[in-house]
Structure 1
Amino acid sequence: MSKEFEVAREYEVAVPPGQVWDAITSGSGGWLWPMEYEPREGGAGPFGSVITTWDPPHRLTVRTEDVGFPTQSLNQIDHTIEPRDGGRGSWVRYVHSGIFTDDWDNQYDGADKHTDFYLHTLREYVTHFAGRPVAFATFDGPGGSASSDAFAAVGPALGLADDTAEGARVRAKGPGGEEFDAVLDYRDPYFVGLRTDDALIRFFGRGRWGAPVGMSVHDFAPGADAKGNETAWKGWLDEVFAG
């Protein structure tokens, strides 16, 4: 049965509104995935959406009437950005709304939990990497990682102790057993985020929602190789969830 939903968040970030606006609309893949916006009301937005409000750097609303998913018939994303601290910082209200047509509880739970991680990654991007060219890659692990308890293997494979908390500096283990320095910038039962001097590395435990473990790598190093990152980290996922 069809039912409306709304996921709303408010947060502050210590960068000007224009910088938040640029991060949301530039479509670089610096914090989410590459997206293009036609800069006007009525213009084309990502994934078949239409821009219903275009008021830089204060308000952006995009609406999709034909979502293309069997479990959803309407999708809308709204960002409201206001200056704080004399324009040096920003207050942001984010609202994701629409209509789920089936599996409402599971769909809402997934949207709700992903929202916190995505918006955290946005804040990490504008704080540490804004404006830097990025090589973006996103991909999934093997089908065996789709079980509800599979994501528990990611922390140990990265060399993270169970009690390693957000904000800790860690020596993580990546592809080929190579170690690298990072900050554990996000951790809960469903997501892990690592921030290095040149990258945001994100892990998505989507088994709760019937999907494999996913990853995205936002690499800001000069000459970064998105395909090389995908090959290396996908191999890492395959090893973690082998058999």
Structure 2
Amino acid sequence: MSAPDSPAIPLPLIFGPFDPSGASHLPIDAVICAGLGAHAGSVATAIHVQDTAGTETIQRLAPDLVDDQARCLLEDMTIGALKIGPQYDPETISTLAQIAADYSALPLVLQLCAPPPVPDLEDLDPEETIGAMLELLVPQAHLVVVDDRLPEQWAGQGLLSSTRADDPIGALHELGAPLVLCCNATLGPGLNGLILHARGQAGRRWPWPAPRVRTGDAESLLATVLCCLLARGLDPDEAIPQAVTSATALLARHFHPGMGQRILLHAAS
């Protein structure tokens, strides 16, 4: 039996950890997508034990389970774009890279970040995890979103090309990423913002408010909004300015439900 006709609703697919507090990652990503008129598919790659104050433990899910869940959704729905959020081990990253390769026609928004310092990840070398992201996922990304400080830090650790140690963004371009959107970049004295680096072009800049929420992962919020817009069929030149405007508005609404950080207010006011 064929599926009934339905409106053309954008269908992003998001890979990342599950945060039970609803402050970040898959739960809030799904809500953000809904607010933008999209329906998010979710593939959990890890489960956090955490509250609004911080993460206590992380349980990584088996890569085979991640692969099975992703392919079920990709074979069932007309997914329009992919977002890969924080990942914690090379084996899962390798699985995601194969999925991305098999669906290379879909725009991929890659959020680059360092693994958090929690006991569950002590059996893993964080440099191996970062190296796997750079080697396997960056070459397939249509757009990389990253905190401005990380590429320089990784270049200093020798994780980016030694021949481009003085130009870590150039090194990301050489790895294959055509667009790199840096968060928390210095635009001037006392002014932070966003810089979009396109290969062979001058960087585009936008101011960015000093948020009271998502202060540690503004790049995740931007990556989710961008994935929704790309799933709608926009090209990056159209999507990025719209994402900046939408994300800025989202950051303005927040509340304080627990003893830790404030989180985005996504309920009706």
**Do both share a fold (TM > 0.5)?**
no
Question: With structure 2 as the length reference, what TM-score do the two structures score?
Answer: 0.26
TM-score (norm 1): 0.28
Which structure: greater strand fraction? 1
Q: Which of the two has greater helix per residue?
A: 2
